[in-house]
Amino acid sequence: MKQIIVGNWKMNGLSADADALVDGLAAQLAALSPRADVVVCPPFTQLARLAPKLKQAGIKLGAQDCHKDKSGAHTGDISAPMLVDLGVEYVILGHSERRAEHHELDETVREKTVAAMAAGLTPIVCVGENDDQRSAGDSQATVGWQIEGSLPQGFRGIVAYEPIWAIGTGQAASQQDIADMAAFIRAELVRQFGDAGKTMQILYGGSVNERNVTDILPVEHVDGALVGNASLKADAFVPLVRAARAS
């Protein structure tokens, strides 16, 4: 199974900048013949515009959220079928910024995950502990509760571990921290989903960059990376793809 490198643009990307970034990615990846699957998750405003460019470049299209309902009176929201209609294949759910800024609970994330799977999307469900939880020695307990609460029965998707205390700091978790948590997440997935949990992909996210990616991707049970800031420049993102391995 190939590793997967996912770029989360967050709330960044006006049209001219988005076009330039995708053009740069397409040019560099064409020369690379990447051993990883590459997914780009632009803001909603750029999905339809960038879908043809990304498809031509062999880059898969992802979104940053979806609603739990197929349609209805939900002003400002986007449903999973709407994303599929635009050519989206993946959707990030339960990111720490959504959990914090929009007060999303595990139950909310689980409902969105059910909707995403029903529409044919691959959900990328984020889990991770904050600095207080880590300092209290509750990292694994926190992530375990999030996995149990956020992943529905019959889950078919990806789990992304993002230690909140590392996001945006430029300092990723240590290789040992990542290895310990990835092994714990794998055990939890197997406990909840049996044999299916053995092959679910686990990503690491949290200040992934060119300097630390070669320490992160070889870690056992790490099947790729969810990348924030470094995904906003082709010259910063492509080296992460280059570092990926086909396993």
Residue 168: what pLDDT? 76
207 annotated to a ligand binding site = yes
Average pLDDT over residues 193-210: 96
Average pLDDT over residues 106-120: 98
Average pLDDT over residues 27-55: 94
Q: How far is CA 92 from CA 18, 31, 39, 157, 169, in A?
A: 19, 28, 11, 10, 21
95 catalytic residue (yes or no): yes
CA separation for the pair 157, 66 (Å, rounded): 15
Average pLDDT over residues 128-148: 95
Average pLDDT over residues 123-140: 95
Token pair 């909707």 in the structure block, residue: 115
Q: Per the residue annotation, which of 67, 95, 111, 129 is the catalytic one? A: 95
9 annotated to a ligand binding site = yes
DSSP letter string, 45-63: HHHHHHHHHHHHHTPEEEE
Average pLDDT over residues 204-227: 95
* CATH numeric code, 4-243: 3.20.20.70
220 catalytic residue (yes or no): no
Average pLDDT over residues 18-28: 97
Could you tell me the pLDDT band of residue 223, with boundaries at 50, 70 and 90? Answer: very high
Residues in contact with 166: Cβ distance below 8 Å, sequence separation at least 6, in sequence order: 172, 173, 206, 207
Q: Per the residue annotation, which of 97, 104, 111, 162 is the catalytic one? A: 162
Question: Is 162 buried (19+), middle (13-18) or exposed (0-12) by CB count in 10 A?
Answer: buried
User: Quick one: which of 67, 74, 17 has its CA closest to 42?
Assistant: 17
Mean pLDDT of the chain: 95
Average pLDDT over residues 31-36: 83
Average pLDDT over residues 190-204: 97
Give the number of other Cβ atoms within 10 Å of residue 143's Cβ.
21
Residue 166: what pLDDT? 85
CA separation for the pair 161, 185 (Å, rounded): 8
Residue 78: what pLDDT? 98
Residues in contact with 48: Cβ distance below 8 Å, sequence separation at least 6, in sequence order: 86
Share of the chain above pLDDT 70, in %: 99
Average pLDDT over residues 113-127: 98
Could you tell me the pLDDT band of residue 33, with boundaries at 50, 70 and 90? Answer: confident
Could you tell me the pLDDT band of residue 31, with boundaries at 50, 70 and 90? Answer: confident
Tokens read off for 54? 């990304």
DSSP letter string, 118-170: HHT-EEEEEE---HHHHHTT-HHHHHHHHHHHHSPTT--SEEEE--TTTTTTS
Question: Is 51 buried (19+), middle (13-18) or exposed (0-12) by CB count in 10 A?
Answer: middle
168 annotated to a ligand binding site = yes
Residue 246: what pLDDT? 59
Domain ranges, ordered by start, for the chain: 4-243
Residue 146 has pLDDT above 90, yes or no: yes
Average pLDDT over residues 157-166: 94
Which of the two residues, 196 and 165, has the higher pLDDT score? 196
Share of the chain above pLDDT 90, in %: 91
8 annotated to a ligand binding site = yes
Residue 152 has pLDDT above 60, yes or no: yes
